[in-house]
Chain A
Amino acid sequence: MTTGRAVNGFLLDITGVLYNSIYKSDGSAIPKSAEAVDFVREEDVITPAPVVAQYCREHELRPHLFVRDDVLEYFDGIDTTSPNCVVMGEVEEGFSFDRINRAFRVLLNMPKPLLITMGNGKFFQRVDGPCIDVGAFAAALKFSTNCEIVMIGDDLLSDVGGAQACGMRGIQVKTGKWRPDFEKLPVKPDLTADCLYDAVKMIADNGFRL
């Protein structure tokens, strides 16, 4: 018997769902997540970087880029001299005091300091424990420079709530940063599963309906 509405596509969060982050390495896959997803085409992976680059072009912004090397290509062709904003991405690869201080000085010297962040996660889960994320640095830079903040991306704390607010169904997986006390939060997932594989299997067994 199959009940529920058709599920025609999946948006997958990555860290904590497909794989766990490990400091200075490629991370480790969460068991069976590869089987859950036959293959992930590059165009199926949505990240904030190209959206931020487009935002910069539309608003004629010259960003000081504080991002991972592998997203720099999205910013090709954008003038980065005499920056009038700072773009900050995830900090998974660790941060250096020197880079942060540079971003701080760039902001402090702007007449109207503007910080664009990719996401606003408070922390991300790594195998050795939780680590402070973009949200911490955004708050810190705002405190020290009184900058305006524009956030582009998902809010890690409410992937589920954020999706539901758009009319999508939200599924909570108990991997990554999940904790039992999440059950006390006001967001109620449409489905809760131990891991991605179990979630996909439940939906598949139900004729791709939820």
Chain B
Amino acid sequence: MSRKIKTALIDLSGTLHIEDLAIPGAQAALEKLRKHVAVKFVTNTTKESKNLLHQRLRDCGFAIEKDEIFTSLSAARDLITKQQYRPFFILDDKAMEDFEGIPTEDPNAVVLGLAPEKFTEEYMNRAFRLIKEKNAALIAIHKAKYYQKKDGLHVGPGFYAAGLEAVANVEAKVVGKPNKLFFQMALESLGNVDFSSAVMIGDDVDDDVIGAISAGMHGILVKTGKFRSGDERKVQNVAESFVEAVDMIIENKV
């Protein structure tokens, strides 16, 4: 019987690990999965550069190469250079490494990511004024409503993007998941843009799973990370964790 799934896009934070801790059994499950499908790691994370992300995964015991990681920051940089934006960045300092060389004088765009230290009245008002008075574009690396930290849930950049959209009469351009172009770029890098034989595994029911399904892929929701009870009612394929998700794929149960 031919395998339905040929490629897997795998979310990182909340799916393979939570901060510095790997999801139990995930390292071995990944090795098992690699024997059957091609994989790419896709992340909306905006708090760290690709180098830092890669290092963290290695430290967790995952055998992953840096070029197997496709981040929304890379997608953002592509958009910024293509449109010749001069951004006012609301990004974590640890992510700024990925934007070296981008001009920032006289900004005509606001680039908003997950940067809690910069979710301040000063930054938000500056962003608001640039959009309202200088017609700056609003680019959201992603619009996560919230995300999971060890001490509980925190509002994500989607919260602030929604606020700015409502009062500055602007629509945010979303660069990362669930933007279809983002999924497409990830699959292109694997040499297979057949959405119907691809699956996305993630903990964010909206941005990972429903996003993937809307793009024409399969999706598996894992009950780790930011998963909240009730999310499982919105989608068909649900797994306890990445370990069970891998079994679902190998056993053609997707």
Main SS class of interface, B? helix
Q: What residues of chain B lie closer than 8 Å to A97, measured between beta carbons?
A: 116, 119-120
- Interface positions, chain A 58-97, Cβ under 8 Å from B, are 91, 94-95, 97
Q: What residues of chain B lie closer than 8 Å to A108, measured between beta carbons?
A: 146, 153
A144 lies within 8 A of chain B by Cβ: yes
Q: What residues of chain A lie closer than 8 Å to B33, measured between beta carbons?
A: none
B128–A123 contact, CB under 8 A?
Answer: yes
9-residue interface stretch from B1-9, B12-20, B155-163, B216-224: B155-163
A196-B126 Cα distance, complex, nearest whole Å: 29
B125–A139 contact, CB under 8 A?
Answer: no
B47 lies within 8 A of chain A by Cβ: no
- Interface positions, chain B 154-201, Cβ under 8 Å from A, are 154-156, 158-160, 162-167
**Known A143-B158, A144-B145: A132·B120 in contact at CB below 8 Å:** no
A131-B162 Cα distance, complex, nearest whole Å: 16
**Known A97-B120, A139-B166: A132·B125 in contact at CB below 8 Å:** yes
Residue of A nearest to B154 (CB): A101
A131–B160 contact, CB under 8 A?
Answer: no
Residue of A nearest to B124 (CB): A132
A130–B145 contact, CB under 8 A?
Answer: no
B167–A132 contact, CB under 8 A?
Answer: yes
Proximity string of chain B (107-122) to chain A, C-beta cutoff 8 Å, 1 when within and 0 when not: 0000000001001110
A145-B163 Cα distance, complex, nearest whole Å: 13
A56-B239 Cα distance, complex, nearest whole Å: 42
A201 lies within 8 A of chain B by Cβ: no
A143–B162 contact, CB under 8 A?
Answer: yes
B166–A122 contact, CB under 8 A?
Answer: yes
Main SS class of interface, A? helix
A104–B155 contact, CB under 8 A?
Answer: yes
Question: Shortest distance in angstroms between A186's beta carbon and chain B's nearest beta carbon?
Answer: 16
Choose from B116, B128, B154, B165 the contact partner of A131 (Cβ within 8 Å).
B128
A140–B121 contact, CB under 8 A?
Answer: no
B129 lies within 8 A of chain A by Cβ: yes
Proximity string of chain A (107-124) to chain B, C-beta cutoff 8 Å, 1 when within and 0 when not: 010000000000000110
Question: Shortest distance in angstroms between B153's beta carbon and chain A's nearest beta carbon?
Answer: 6
A135-B145 Cα distance, complex, nearest whole Å: 17
Residue of B nearest to A135 (CB): B167
B132 lies within 8 A of chain A by Cβ: yes
B155–A144 contact, CB under 8 A?
Answer: yes
Residue of A nearest to B145 (CB): A144
| Sampled A-B contacts (22; CB under 8 Å) | A95-B121, A97-B119, A101-B155, A104-B153, A104-B159, A108-B146, A122-B167, A123-B167, A130-B132, A132-B164, A136-B128, A136-B164, A137-B163, A138-B166, A139-B165, A139-B166, A140-B159, A140-B166, A143-B145, A143-B163, A144-B155, A144-B162
Q: Which residues from chain A sit less than 8 Å from chain B, CB to CB?
A: 91, 94-95, 97, 100-101, 104-105, 108, 122-123, 129-133, 135-145
Q: Which residues from chain B sit less than 8 Å from chain A, CB to CB?
A: 116, 119-121, 124-125, 128-129, 132-133, 145-146, 152-156, 158-160, 162-167
